[in-house]
């Protein structure tokens, strides 16, 4: 009798997210008593504002509606709208705001609402790997716009000029993994290029607010033809609550809503009602940026001592992206040796760069100050010993 054998789809065969593999490895090491310094994670300080936590606790004893509207509760959408008005002097119609299951949910909805099978979507390289993997799982063609390793991760946006046949373009500023913030002129160039060539522009602004030497600009300040994606996970210190948002053009609203209804029904009810309170905590959240800035300085001072490490000083987010080619080690070997010898966990570059990942690593400085100081000392003496 013939057996039925089932196989997974080709589109589900995406790359693994290596940082999660490393996290699993480090947790195993910690369970055996080893101290690990987590500089591999893209997770903010463990400082969810107390007002948010208190509201979540209160909601557990209240009769909160189970399902919420598929585009999110109105009070939270109004708060998002008011945030853009207060911070950026921009009017955003609350009906254009969709509350999503994290930024990941926003990306799934955006790609489905924007593109049909076979569409060509551009991403700058190096890049947050989930773009590539979500697009592939939806049978969309990923066009990676390569940057030279000599740029140490810095993205040259002028390279987009050769890609007029794209159906869509995803950009992020501040960028993960490089910490690069595009200037106002660069953003204007990208916006105008996409508008002139009928390219749907998707702006990942999840690290907005985490900026040091320069300012971020929402792409909707350049015009209405953009889909904006953001989240409560980074600046707002609510990772794991799985609450994000998208701002969509008016002609996308109906399809976005129907997709939300069918794919997700609604986002976390307690998460949404709690997130309303986070907008009362902006002064508290801005204090975290000073901690990140101190951490950045600590690592910069260490890394600048070694000619075998090349990098640009990040102006946003909380990552250094290092070119380690001169060390003579491949990134997986480099990160494995550093972890084994010092307990400091960082991420090899393969997640972010399929061209130069063998020679790049990402280092997160979003931990508490004392962790960064201790880890930086360990990195310094390790590099001094071998290089």
Give the pTM. 0.94
State mean pLDDT over 350-376: 96
Q: Are strands 319-323 and 360-364 parallel, antiparallel or unpaired?
A: antiparallel
Q: Indicate if 254 and 364 belong to the same structural domain.
A: no
> Residue 259 falls within a domain, yes or no?
yes
CATH number of residue 274's parent domain: 3.40.640.10
- Among 236, 251, 279, where does a domain finish? 279
Per-residue confidence (pLDDT) for residue 20, from 0 to 100: 78
Q: Indicate if 97 and 33 belong to the same structural domain.
A: no
> Residue 170 falls within a domain, yes or no?
yes
* Beta bridge partners of residue 100, listed in sequence order: 244
State mean pLDDT over 179-193: 97
Q: How many CB atoms lie within 10 A of CB 287?
A: 10
376 is written with which tokens?
Answer: 């930086």
State mean pLDDT over 58-79: 94
Q: Indicate if 258 and 344 belong to the same structural domain.
A: no
Could you give the maximum distance between any two Cα atoms of the chain, in Å?
Answer: 70
Reported confidence tier of residue 148, pLDDT bands at 50, 70, 90: confident
- DSSP annotation of 278: G
Q: Indicate if 182 and 131 belong to the same structural domain.
A: yes
Which residues, 6 or more positions from 227, have their beta carbon under 8 angstroms from its beta carbon?
A: 110, 114, 200, 201, 202, 203, 246, 247, 248, 249, 252
Per-residue pLDDT reduced to its tens digit, 277-335: 999 999 999 999 999 999 999 999 999 999 999 999 999 999 999 999 999 999 999 99
Write out the H or E segment, with its range, that includes residue 190.
Answer: helix 184-196
> Residue 4 falls within a domain, yes or no?
no
- Say whether pLDDT at 232 is over 90: yes
CA 14 to chain centroid: 18
Reported confidence tier of residue 18, pLDDT bands at 50, 70, 90: confident
> Residue 1 falls within a domain, yes or no?
no
> Residue 5 falls within a domain, yes or no?
no
Domain hosting 246: range is 50-279
> Residue 353 falls within a domain, yes or no?
yes
Buried b (16+ CB within 10 A) or exposed e, 165-204: ebbbbbbbbbbbbbbbbbeeebbbbbbebbeeeebbbbbb
Output the average pLDDT for the chain. 95
Rounded (5°) CA angle 233-234-236: 75
- Say whether pLDDT at 228 is over 90: yes
- Domain count across the chain: 2
Per-residue confidence (pLDDT) for residue 1, from 0 to 100: 58
Q: Indicate if 273 and 329 belong to the same structural domain.
A: no
Q: Indicate if 105 and 77 belong to the same structural domain.
A: yes
> Residue 343 falls within a domain, yes or no?
yes
- Among 279, 313, 344, where does a domain finish? 279
Q: How far apart, in whole angstroms, are the C-alpha atoms of residue 23 and residue 88?
A: 37
Reported confidence tier of residue 22, pLDDT bands at 50, 70, 90: confident
- Say whether pLDDT at 5 is over 80: no
CATH number of residue 379's parent domain: 3.90.1150.10
Q: How far apart, in whole angstroms, are the C-alpha atoms of residue 189 and residue 187?
A: 5
CA 368 to chain centroid: 20
265 is written with which tokens?
Answer: 């029904």
Q: Indicate if 107 and 250 belong to the same structural domain.
A: yes
Question: Lowest mean pLDDT: which of 17-21, 118-122, 175-179?
Answer: 17-21
- Among 279, 312, 346, where does a domain finish? 279
Q: Indicate if 71 and 17 belong to the same structural domain.
A: no
> Residue 2 falls within a domain, yes or no?
no
- Say whether pLDDT at 376 is over 70: yes
- Say whether pLDDT at 220 is over 70: yes
Contact between 52 and 278 under an 8 Å Cβ cutoff? The reply is yes
Write out the H or E segment, with its range, that includes residue 310.
Answer: strand 310-311
Q: Indicate if 213 and 74 belong to the same structural domain.
A: yes
Per-residue confidence (pLDDT) for residue 213, from 0 to 100: 86
Q: Indicate if 91 and 235 belong to the same structural domain.
A: yes
Q: Indicate if 209 and 258 belong to the same structural domain.
A: yes
Q: Indicate if 67 and 93 belong to the same structural domain.
A: yes
């Amino acid at each position: 009798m013939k057996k039925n054998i089932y196989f997974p789809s080709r589109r589900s065969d995406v790359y693994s997210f290596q940082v999660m593999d490393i996290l699993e490895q480090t947790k195993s090491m910690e369970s055996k008593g080893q101290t690990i310094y987590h500089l591999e994670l893209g997770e903010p300080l463990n400082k969810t504002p107390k007002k948010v936590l208190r509201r979540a606790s209160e909601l557990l004893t209240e009769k909160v509606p189970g399902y919420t509207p598929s585009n999110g509760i109105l009070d939270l959408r109004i708060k998002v709208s008011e945030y853009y008005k207060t911070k950026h002097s921009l009017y955003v119609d609350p009906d254009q705001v969709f509350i999503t299951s994290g930024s990941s949910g926003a990306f799934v909805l955006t790609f489905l609402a924007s593109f049909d099978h076979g569409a060509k979507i551009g991403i700058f390289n190096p890049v947050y790997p989930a773009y590539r993997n979500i697009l592939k799982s939806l049978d969309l063609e990923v066009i990676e716009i390569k940057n030279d390793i000599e740029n140490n991760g810095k993205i040259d946006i002028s390279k987009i000029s050769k890609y007029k046949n794209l159906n869509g373009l995803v950009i992020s500023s501040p960028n993960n993994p490089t910490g690069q913030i595009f200037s106002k002129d660069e953003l204007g160039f990208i916006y105008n290029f996409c508008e002139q060539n009928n390219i749907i522009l998707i702006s990942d602004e999840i690290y907005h607010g985490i900026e040091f030497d320069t300012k971020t600009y929402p792409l909707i300040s350049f015009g209405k033809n953009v889909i904006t994606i953001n989240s409560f996970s980074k600046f707002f210190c609510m990772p794991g609550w799985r609450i994000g948002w998208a701002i969509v053009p008016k002609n996308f609203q109906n399809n976005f809503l129907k997709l939300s209804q069918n794919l997700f029904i609604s986002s976390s009810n307690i998460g949404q009602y709690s997130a309303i309170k986070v907008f009362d905590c902006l002064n508290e959240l801005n204090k975290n940026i000073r901690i990140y800035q101190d951490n950045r300085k600590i690592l910069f001072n260490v890394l600048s001592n070694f000619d075998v490490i090349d990098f640009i000083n990040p102006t946003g987010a909380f990552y250094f992206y290092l070119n380690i080619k001169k060390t003579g080690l491949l990134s997986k070997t480099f990160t494995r040796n550093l972890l084994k010898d010092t307990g400091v966990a960082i991420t090899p570059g393969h997640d972010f760069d399929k061209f130069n990942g063998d020679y790049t690593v990402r280092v997160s400085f979003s931990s508490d100050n004392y962790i960064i100081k201790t880890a930086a000392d360990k990195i310094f003496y390790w590099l001094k010993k071998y290089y």
